[in-house]
A and B are shown apart, each in its own frame.
Chain A
């Protein structure tokens, strides 16, 4: 390649007034790319979508990279949960959960003095954290992050039963199963369903209201991708202060804007006075 010879000393200073907004943006993007490569190439690829959502709502044009593919995730639309516990039943049946244990449960939060609601149901399960404290705590690698799917799984024969992972988990997602002689936990039904070709977990397929939506976060056509990648309704995770980068996302999920996205109608304006 031939580069023109430029004497920098002889060039006239054009000032910053003439730089267009677009050029500035491109310059900033370049900066992001460089920091991405040099400062946190690895860190970035490990970072959870939460950070990316934060970027997205910050308005920067940012292409998300998810560390796994398929990156399994669940979005829980809290307002749709009616506490029918069909998900818990389905989970217990699918995964042969003993009666003293559970892999998922529904918590109840009560309110006083609110006009619209007195109670809210919050389904909880293993958050399949990208930075899972249980995986770090396990002395024998009996619990591990699946390199392909990002599911936190158990290799039961290695479990010594020290129960450190139970205490390390900030989501109370683990229990000791006397039948398995090991810790048992949610594996997004990998053993019983996903590995056999199904696309839904037991709980999400049993949910009659669509409160639990399960899917692949790397697929732009997937419902979880759509639910996470929108600005109108806030999306959150439980206990973000622990820095575990969870893959279970929560939202209220009752706004028209979300329905519109799911229907593919991206920019429909609905006038509340008319409807």
Chain B
């Protein structure tokens, strides 16, 4: 038993509970706080399940998807995004993106599991789901495809992660490819769950599936930078030159993606303003109930501030990147909330002009809902901090694909390429400009 543990420790960089024992008391207290929060959230969620969600949740007949669905969307968007951005490296061979792969895939799995924790407390009969999703599938339902494909996605990601640990690069690449395809299919289906609801003009149309994919990539870039720079705070040793270059590359891609989402958002607002059906919702976002959510969180924290800070950081200033992406994660949460809730605020009978449907419908998350959503997020944080220690910063072993003709530089850890007739030393000197 001990022998195999040593073996795993060597091959996978798995340091087990020993690594946790060595962690500082502050670190353990932080982990403990997240564990407590997760347990408290689960307890409150189970209490709600026993009492009946109807009595304790803020959702109603008209607004039947609340903060739990928003948090679920947040988690799975981030998970898919982590998969998309990391696949640039370990699936498509973008060398600069390779060092982030292991942490990204690990976090992708964790975010997905966190999302499942949250949806567990939203679905009224989660146990029936396991049975009837299999024996009574409705192939025309986006919800069915979304659930099924996300299940498959999780399986692919776990297998991929196993092969990454095993350093079986061809199989991890294959699984990564399947995971990416299934993940994108699943995620666009999540967009279509909203986008194919006729009666909801704010959601209806092809916009959301497309937006979700780009938004996922943006969230993924943001999350990778956040978890990597936070890991650097925890253990500065994880930053070698290859990681630095990787962060810089992710930073560039994320800047591009934030700009794309800004573009999407601008046109969503402008086109919505001239649409009779959507303008009420758009005005609630621009100048109404959701204005603080929209301007302060979605626009400022989610896009403008991170864009500015990431540009300022030039991809080198990790402190700045950490703050930018950390705040951006909060902004992104509100971005999801601003899609899910306002889409339901107009009654389907509003256009009929009846008294009952003149006003917009209000929703306030209840204590039970907030705690159940926090349980999933706390699970993610707990698993992240545990993973950083137990898996030794996801860094010990080389897990990246080294292209042919390349080698890992012992000095900086980056992949260098030798030219013909060149020795490794010459190549290193050339790369590092030591003449």
Chain A residues proximal to chain B, CB less than 8 Å: 100-101, 105, 107-110, 122, 124, 133, 136-142, 157-164, 166-172, 174-176, 178, 181-182, 238-239, 242-244
Contacts and interface: CB of A to CB of B under 8 A. Distances in A.
A172 B62 contact: yes
Given A162-B143, A178-B52, A243-B198, A141 B351 contact: no
B148 to A, nearest CB: 9
A182 B348 CA distance: 22
Contacts of B62: 172
Nearest to A121: B354
Contacts of A161: 123-125, 128
B61 interface: yes
B51 to A, nearest CB: 10
A85 B123 CA distance: 33
Contact of A138 (B138, B197, B199, B344): B138
A79 to B, nearest CB: 16
Contact of A139 (B124, B141, B347): B141
A168 B123 contact: no
Interface of B: 52-55, 61-62, 64-65, 122-126, 128-129, 132-133, 136-138, 140-144, 147, 193, 196-200, 344, 347-349, 351-357
A242 B198 CA distance: 6
A66 to B, nearest CB: 23
Contacts of A239: 199, 348, 351
B140 A136 contact: yes
Given A107-B349, A109-B355, A136-B140, A160 B64 contact: no
A108 to B, nearest CB: 5
B64 A163 contact: yes
B34 to A, nearest CB: 28
B136 A141 contact: yes
Nearest to A243: B198
Nearest to B198: A242
A136 B138 CA distance: 8
Contact of B129 (A101, A105, A160): A160
5 contacts: A122-B352, A140-B133, A141-B138, A176-B61, A178-B53
B123 A176 contact: no
Contacts of A163: 64-65, 124
Contact of A168 (B122, B147, B197): B197
B146 to A, nearest CB: 8
B61 A172 contact: yes
A156 to B, nearest CB: 10
Given A109-B354, A141-B138, A160-B126, 6 more contacts: A137-B196, A137-B197, A138-B138, A140-B132, A163-B64, A178-B55
A133 B199 contact: yes
A107 B61 CA distance: 16
A56 B136 CA distance: 40
